[in-house]
Amino acid sequence: METRSFAAPRISVITPLFNCLERTRAMVDSLRGAMPPGVSHEIILVDDGSTDGTREWLATLGEPFRVVLNAANLGFGAATNRGAASARGDVLALLNNDLVLSQGWLWPMMEALEGLGARAGLVGNVQLDPAKLEVDHAGIRINLKGKPEHERRRPGPLSRLFRPVRRKVAVTGACVLVWSATWRRLGGFDEDYVNGCEDVDLCLRALDVGLVNAVAMRSAVLHHVSSSPGRKLRDEENTRRLFMRWRRWLAYLGSRDWTWDHFGRLVQDPRDFPDPLEAWRMAFFMAHVKIEPPETALEGMNAAIDGELARWQGMFSH
């Protein structure tokens, strides 16, 4: 008689779905072909109220698929949380349904996660626009307004060889690995965000408890960015919520780019250059000799953040 093993899988893939059935089918087909043989895994598909035949298609799937059906559309964060709550693996792989995966995507991310060990926050990868094959994501940085934005510089061959794993402020939740124990420790996605900034918020919570977020530079996937219906409708509200919660961190994390930008403009006109002591503080900070940013950088970032908060105040007061 055949016996069946109920041992917990190594990896739990979690993918929330809302319509876009053809994208989902293509992603699932690519995942099946790109999952390395011998890796114990389960694939949890969370349908978030689809009306385009997705649920009928889900009913045709067998092992290693597990299906969670939401009675109504709860949004990306809540749908992912529901999938994670039922996951049995010790590694969660959060994958959007608009990815196209190819051979070699998983191991660099796993090596980065395991290399960081208990210090690992969220581990992402390089994501390419399928139409132009240009980099859409190689990590997330905080720009001069205090807002998160994707880094889009393509890592070169030498960079991938000698620096295969790079620390980052944050990574997108479209393709990410995280220890399930870390996910539970951090509390998963904050469901007050509606289809945006959940991933950055989670990464900042990881930084806040001393964990390291990183990008595995040797892993690359194709990503049809923001293809789910309604994906961009709440961007302003979501970013405002992020600012209200993480203002101090955003000012700190944006201060290095602010210093580089400010220093560069001052060099163009030395008459505006600060006193020598402040110039040395800026130089040491840019060279990573000094960890704490100069006061001028924090003041500059906070002024930019104040400007955005004032803009939102006007926007949402009507």
Residues of the chain with CATH 3.90.550.10: 11-223
Helix (H, G, I), strand (E, B) or coil at 126: strand
pLDDT tens by residue, 53-83: 999 999 999 999 999 999 999 999 999 999 9
Please state, in angstroms and rounded to a whole number, the distance separating the CA atoms of residues 109 and 273. 44
Give yes or no for a contact between 149 and 141, defined as CB atoms under 8 angstroms apart: yes
Model's pTM, two decimal places? Answer: 0.92
Helices and strands, counts by H and E, the chain: 10, 12
How does residue 278 score in pLDDT terms, banded at 50, 70 and 90?
confident
pLDDT tens by residue, 224-240: 986 555 556 789 999 99
pLDDT tens by residue, 151-200: 998 888 888 889 999 999 999 999 999 999 999 999 999 999 999 999 99
Q: What is the mean pLDDT of residues 250-273?
A: 84
CATH of region 11-223: 3.90.550.10
Please state, in angstroms and rounded to a whole number, the distance separating the CA atoms of residues 167 and 157. 18
Please state, in angstroms and rounded to a whole number, the distance separating the CA atoms of residues 172 and 150. 8
Sequence letter at residue 246? W
Both tokens of 59, joined, read 């009913």
